[in-house]
Amino acid sequence: MQNQAISPTPLPFVVAHRGASGNAPENTLAAIRHAAELGCGWVEVDGTVTADARAVLHHDDQLDRCSDGSGLLLAQRLETLRTLDFGQWFDDRFLGERIPTVAECGLLCEELHLGCNLEIKVVDGWEEPTALAVCESVRNHWPKSTPLLFSSFNQAALLVAKQLLPQVPRAYLATVTPQEWQYVLEYTGSSALHCGDNACLRRSVIQKVIEAGYPVRVYTVDDPQRAAELKDWGVEAIFTNYPARMTGLGA
């Protein structure tokens, strides 16, 4: 028996992963804008926390891969992070791209009429402070008319979101679908399962989850043939770095 406070939020089949991150620097406003230009209705981004408890968009614990900075993001204040470049690593065209706050993400999604899957991306030992910062930013700044979905690999983060913003739907993220998937979904009050596209993904398991009333969404799918196969399996949505490749599959 499914035990959840709110109903699932329907997503389009194609969701832009970290924005349209195959063509623009991930988790930036540029990537979100490009997703809208490609006709996407939803984007997925990563929300994490700075040293001064500000919620920003960034995937890695470390700054090195996606900026001209280095070290742990969590050790830096927002003021310092704003001096770094988060675009040139991808292409010189994006020189000067700055790290966005969750609040700025919400405003841009409102402007572009986008829904947003905001993954709560935690650092080990900072699960609850990360979720608190992200949820507080949403509560204080997220436009009420802009669709929002929380997701996380971390159960503690989802429980914080459930407590602070119970009206915002949640999805549990898993690299491999756990055997106890129904218990985890019920425990975290999640209305959907997001799982990785890998050798462990089974059509039979996906169908069991769907039959229990939970939509299944799969990341990260960049091959149109694989996307079409997953759609045939009953997968509600895929997260892709290249939305333009998914022509005809539904954005």
Per the CB < 8 A criterion, the answer to whether 146 and 109 are in contact is yes
**pLDDT reported for residue 249:** 80
Q: pLDDT tens across 2-55, in order?
A: 444 477 789 999 999 999 999 999 999 999 999 999 999 999 999 999 999 999
Point out the catalytic residue in the list 34, 58, 59, 194: 59
pTM of the entire structure?
Answer: 0.96
pLDDT score for 8: 76
Residue 186, H or E segment: helix 181-188
Instruction: Tell me the CA distances in angstroms from 192 to 7, 100, 158, 235, 251, one per residue in order.
Output: 9, 27, 12, 11, 19
Rounded Cα gap, residues 10 and 83, in angstroms? 38
Residue 251: per-residue pLDDT: 61
Residue ranges of the chain whose pLDDT lies below 50: 1-5
59 is an active site residue: yes
User: 242: which strand partners?
Assistant: none
Q: How far apart are CA 123 and CA 138, in angstroms?
A: 19
The token pair at 235 is: 């997968």
141 counts as catalytic: no
Q: What is the pLDDT of residue 22?
A: 98
Strands (E) located in 58-169: 115-120, 148-152
Q: Which of 17, 34, 58, 194 is catalytic?
A: 17
Query: Helix 181-188 and helix 155-164: axis angle, to 10°?
Result: 30
Q: Strand (E) positions, 34-147?
A: 42-49, 55-57, 115-120
pLDDT at 68 (0 to 100): 98
